Chain A
């Protein structure tokens, strides 16, 4: 019983944290089709900006917010200077965003140095709920992640802004003929994706050691989450994808070693894609 409860909690926590990390990519890749290999770099920047904010004396959540905005601004600049010429050529964006990763990693190393850094989360310690001890900060992040994803999905499906974005994705030429400002909408979506990645990097920072490559741990996993879940399916796709890539790993680790669990997860992803090439809830 103890194991079932602990597995349930572990799976939920891992799924939601991974969903948060992948959400920025779900927006950028899912909505505007940019194969963002710089997603890991955006997470890294979010973590470093958060560290810098805290070092400058800001309280934790303000620092995270500032970090998100900071990465959003970097995203806008990158989009304006580079990406906006390449929306028709997704494979070129692959190279460009990888270049972004390389440049931003080196800049981070120059500005912040290469030693491990530490960010203390605002809720250290654990919450004891009788049968289980929940790590307090991680639980908070998981809850926040759920809130953010649901809120974004609501905006996407229930507001006029959401309609405009969906129109843009469905048929860009028609949408522009009907008066939609394409350039501005793309910019908005890209910036929001970058903001999300920065926010995620900042929120995840207290759980990991911060070094220039921290974001890349989540890069491959994020791509699998988005692809397995379904490109363009922000809510269901991200959550389902995160469950299969993140949660399944911890379930398999119950029965075998870490290495086997990590490998098995990718194997499962391949099997899923074989039978549902557009992702679990993709293609609608």
Chain B
């Protein structure tokens, strides 16, 4: 049986191609006309399920409060901010999927979030190739060129402290009070490793000594051998950068082994949320250092907490990460307002050098040279027998506006 087809004439082919490309281009045309009106869309990537769900909640809550405040004050350039959420499920490879989805399908104007350094490093290549800004809130290990484009990326702005702000200011006090021998224990990935490397620089400067450096794979339930190593090494200070459930397991087992009487623990990971989970017996007398705590005594903080609790409940917890997201949202809004337009270039240029006076921990500015925020640094000690967040931490010392060391990248970014 023969089929009767009309021959494909040049005219019909050209008509077909024109129609086809018009159909394919239509979404783009529609989007382009929308782009300069309608809401400004922000993609927030948060670990809302998986092992770090607890952090994801504070993360998102901080950002959403800021967005609510910005929108109530009229939005940015007359446009409202709209949050589009991507759940990273605590897995870096899902971060890549979510980042691509938010940028290409949801057409967000910029991104905020990712939580761990692993997640940020996964998002790095995506934001570089798609040329979108990422606002990163978490305390992290600092910018070293070898981890480009997760760091040293002109499109990524850091709103959390790095070790020269979180650790260095307090080393002298800790070493003078307790001694110079450090035992370092951390989870096995970029953040603890590089944080320890940077800490060791200052330690060497002050004449300290690292007895051992132990990295624990995620989800290790038993710490007998590590505890044994600590006992035989006999450090003055246990410098702790474990995270997730491993920090709870380790600290609980350390306390159960009766070792808290013999060793001092200084953690750069365990903020309010984790410490609440640990309970007073396990966490008492340990040292914690961050740029923000719920109990810091700054007039901005009192006002902020009132608004945060009004929205999220009296018992809601917020921490350094949630506050950094809050600051990031406000500073991005200010930058866009100043620029007069919404684009990656505008955001990137105007975030640099901006200062947010109303940040809960006091004024926060964004450095121009390496996209790092200048933050205060607090050293807190966990009070024995604390009952809730308000009496959990006792301030040991604090520094305002700690400038970090210049990032180890090709500067300026």
Contact = CB atoms under 8 A, between A and B. Distances in A.
Contacts of B256: 121, 124-126, 135-138, 207
Contact of A126 (B214, B217, B225, B258): B258
A234 B35 CA distance: 67
A120 B51 contact: no
Contacts of B217: 258-259, 262
B126 interface: no
B36 interface: no
B54 A116 contact: yes
Contacts of A117: 277
Contacts of A246: 222
Interface residues of A, number: 45
Contacts of B403: none
A211 B277 CA distance: 11
Contacts of A213: 51, 219, 245
B224 A10 contact: yes
Interface in B217-252: 217, 219-222, 224-226, 228, 231-232, 245, 248-249, 252
B273 interface: yes
A197 interface: no
A261 B225 contact: yes
Interface string A246-284: 100110011001110110000000000000000000000
Contacts of A250: 222, 224-225
Contacts of A121: 256
Interface residues of B, number: 34
Contact of A209 (B248, B255, B258): B248
Given A10-B224, A116-B54, A135 B253 contact: yes
B219 A217 contact: yes
A262 to B, nearest CB: 6
Contact of B214 (A211, A216, A257): A257
A128 B257 CA distance: 10
A120 B258 contact: no
A1 to B, nearest CB: 12
Contact of A120 (B188, B277, B281): B281
A206 B219 CA distance: 16
B245 A116 contact: yes
B94 interface: no
Given A125-B258, A207-B256, A115 B228 contact: no
A257 B220 contact: no
Interface in B183-223: 188, 214-217, 219-222
A180 interface: no
Contact of A115 (B49, B214, B224, B277): B277
Contacts of A261: 225
Interface in B41-55: 49, 51, 53-54
A30 to B, nearest CB: 22
Given A125-B258, A133-B258, A118 B228 contact: no
Interface string A51-84: 0000000000000000000000000000000000
Given A135-B253, A207-B253, A250-B224, A114 B248 contact: no
Given A258-B217, A259-B215, A207 B53 contact: no
Contact of B51 (A2, A208, A211): A211
Contacts of B228: 3, 6-7, 10
A126 B245 contact: no
Contacts of A216: 219
Contacts of B221: 207-208, 217-218
Given A7-B228, A261-B225, 12 more contacts: A114-B49, A114-B54, A115-B53, A115-B273, A118-B277, A125-B258, A135-B257, A136-B256, A138-B256, A214-B245, A249-B222, A257-B214
Interface of A: 2-3, 6-7, 10, 13-14, 17, 109, 114-118, 120-121, 124-126, 128, 133, 135-138, 206-209, 211, 213-214, 216-218, 246, 249-250, 253-254, 257-259, 261-262
Which A-B residue pairs are the 6 nearest by beta carbons? A209-B248, A126-B258, A116-B277, A253-B225, A114-B53, A10-B224
10 contacts: A3-B232, A6-B228, A17-B222, A117-B277, A118-B279, A120-B279, A126-B256, A209-B248, A218-B221, A249-B225
